[in-house]
Structure 1
Amino acid sequence: MVYRPITQFLSGAVVPRLARCLLCGESAGDSGLCAACCAGLPFLHGACARCALPLAGAAGSCAHCLQHPPSFASASAAWHYAFPIGQLVQRFKYHRDLTAGHSLARLAALHIEPQAERPDLLVPVPLHWRRYWRRGYNQAQLIAAEFAHQWQIPVANRLLRKRRASETQQQLKRAQRLRNLQRSFAVHGTVDGLHIGLVDDVITTGATLEAAARALLDAGARRISAFALARTP
């Protein structure tokens, strides 16, 4: 099977399909969703500043992050992983719906753009080459490309590598995920003193971000900030 190049994610081949809302079929703007559907999305307003876990009331740090601070300094997600975001992410991630991914990444970039300390570099969470070969693209890399375009921050797609194929993470708890991901990332390049923006599609337990952030910090990065489309409860 021949896969389309990643650059087509941002090309005119995808954009014409955005004229109709992905959810209701009505006229849509550049985001791919009409105003009514966009307004109904489950935006994440109150969340832990460290891991983006949804919190009731004022934002702060969740109990887990207070007791066990993650290696990444902050995390931001645009939405709760709930209807219809979950369904759009699934279409993007597993069914090659690059239009859904393009729309989600463009909308998310508007809502989680870093305002204070902006990263020096964006780095997508990598896939192991076997999974990349089967899927044909890395969804985190496509999201990072749109964030980089919107935020005018350079992106390094090959700086972080997945050197060990880990088992699927979907049914594992956080401690199991951490063990599964132990020493699975490697840094190929210089990150000394840099603030890295680590990009993924969904934050579930934070275990993947923890393992990737730890590898970057061990390689000399100064600070890691995480950015994702959505966060699970």
Structure 2
Amino acid sequence: MTHARRPFAPVVRERIGLLANARVGRARAVQLVARLTALALPRQCALCGMSCVNMSQWPICHACDSTYWNEPRLRCTSCALPLSASRSRGRGVTRYRCGVCASTPPSFDRVLALADYRAPLERLALGLKFHARLAVAREFGQRLARLALDHLEHTDWPDVVAPVPLAGKRLAERGFNQAWEIAKPLARALAIPADVMLMRRTTETAPQSRLDREARQHNVAAAFQVTRRVRGMHVALVDDVMTSGATLQAAAHALKTAGARAVTVFVALRTPKD
């Protein structure tokens, strides 16, 4: 008696399918173990270094969060520069501008910032930028969304969220754009589109941190090009840190030149003084 052989091709496809399913199953099991381990084992606070089991996904502990992060701060409503109470007294704090913005309004309409760029909070931005701690970016984006709900009118809600683009060489070296990693959760929380290709850098500029204020302005004066239609739109422009504001000023100027109706800047940390 002879046995009919199964066609070769279907057998191979079946075995490949079984192997693929097994690999997917193993990958999912590894992911599940990693998630359970992250929940069960203590996590180290990015600021104080203490370990805590109940830290959730935010990379700092509750004690540091209340001590360093949730700090009430009076800020210029145009550039988010921290202001003293004496300078804002009697002026209507909600619409008060610093002296520079009052005399020379920037291209962006306002800046929303979570906190000052200072010790020890700068560790969060540095950990994100240079050590790919993307959990920090997710938390930045979600907190910026809550800030938007508190400060922006729903009648003038942003139409699109866009990151400040990195130069191609720097993006290749780093492997990611920290501004885009913040922009994505911000856009999801606000239920508006995010577009990583809305703008591009046209020149390879020197790192801003190495330059003084005047050199920063010249360094990025014509560094950006708008690649999508933005006429009549309100653009939410995202970056991790704002120091002199030269980069954001140049990007906002490019957006306004392309016809954007308004530009609101979202930054995680704002340098108190340049």
TM-score of the superposed pair, with normalisation by structure 1: 0.87
- Residue 49 of structure 1 is matched in structure 2 by 77
Match of 2:45 among 4, 13, 22: 22
Q: Percent identity?
A: 35
Instruction: Return closer, same or farther for 1:132/1:181 CA change in 2, 3 Å cut-off.
Output: same
Q: Deviations for 1:197-233, whole angstroms, at most 9, x for unmatched residues? A: 1100011011011100010111111111101001001
Deviation at residue 29 of structure 1 after TM alignment: 2.8
Match of 2:141 among 93, 101, 105: 105
Residues in 1 aligned to 2:117 and 2:36: alpha-carbon distance in whole angstroms: 25
| Structure having the higher Rg | 2
Residues in 2 aligned to 1:14 and 1:216: alpha-carbon distance in whole angstroms: 41
Deviation at residue 36 of structure 1 after TM alignment: 2.0
Instruction: Tell me if structure 1 keeps the 8 A contact 2:58–2:136.
Output: no
Higher relative contact order, structure no. (Cα contacts within 8 Å, ≥ 6 residues apart): 1
Q: Deviations for 1:50-105, whole angstroms, at most 9, x for unmatched residues? A: 00001011342111111111000100100111122201110110122222333333
1:153 aligns with 2:153: no
1:214 aligns with 2:253: yes
Instruction: Tell me if structure 2 keeps the 8 A contact 1:22–1:100.
Output: no
- List alignment gaps of at least 5 residues for structure 1: 1-10
CA RMSD for the aligned pairs? Answer: 2.3
Instruction: Return closer, same or farther for 1:226/1:44 CA change in 2, 3 Å cut-off.
Output: farther
Instruction: Return closer, same or farther for 1:98/1:30 CA change in 2, 3 Å cut-off.
Output: closer
1:65 aligns with 2:101: yes
TM-score of the superposed pair, with normalisation by structure 2: 0.75
Deviation at residue 112 of structure 1 after TM alignment: 4.2
Instruction: Tell me if structure 1 keeps the 8 A contact 2:232–2:261.
Output: yes
Query: Once structures 1 and 2 are overlaid, which stretch shifts more, 158-167 or 81-90?
Result: 81-90
Match of 1:115 among 152, 156, 160: 152
Instruction: Tell me if structure 1 keeps the 8 A contact 2:226–2:258.
Output: yes
Instruction: Return closer, same or farther for 1:36/1:190 CA change in 2, 3 Å cut-off.
Output: same
Residue aligned with 1:215, SS: helix
- Residue 8 of structure 1 is matched in structure 2 by none
Specify the code of the residue in structure 1 equivalent to 2:243.
T
Count of matched residue positions in the alignment of Structure 1 and Structure 2 = 223
- List alignment gaps of at least 5 residues for structure 2: 1-30
Instruction: Return closer, same or farther for 1:29/1:231 CA change in 2, 3 Å cut-off.
Output: same
